[in-house]
Amino acid sequence: MNRRAEVSRASNERYLTALASVSGSVPLFQWTREVCHPITRGGRRYRGLNPFSPEDGRLLEAVSRGEFSVNGLRNRDVRMLLWKGRASKIEQRRRTARVGRKLALLRAHGLIRKVGGTHRYVVTIKGERR
């Protein structure tokens, strides 16, 4: 019961933080300076994000939805938001891999973090600043 209360409290805190961060205090040019440049993590290079491109814009919009502030998000959740309709098994695997690479990009920039022992990610404080 203690663990359930701890998880519920953390979930409520994330939700309230997401609601409170509607108005950003960081000017857009400062935020873009951080995430629009390529970075290197663990010997691997990750491209910079372009929030004004349709593809990156849709990804950032999907990840920052309020419904994910409670339980986090999964690859499947992002996939359902980016592509509508059913796909063949081969196309489904391609989409899964594509979203996995996008989530790795967001993790490298510090916008999301992995929840240990699960397949879920949560938006970090840096990611909430938008």
What does the pLDDT look like over 93-122, one tens digit per residue?
A: 999 999 999 999 999 999 999 999 999 999
Task: Using the predicted structure, report yes or no on whether residue 27 has a pLDDT greater than 80.
Answer: no
Task: Give percent of the chain above pLDDT 90.
Answer: 45
Query: How far apart (Å, rounded) are the C-alpha atoms in residues 125 and 26?
Result: 12
Q: Give the predicted TM-score (pTM) of the model.
A: 0.75
pLDDT at 9: 86
Domain locations in the chain as residue ranges = 2-128
H/E segment holding residue 28: helix 28-35
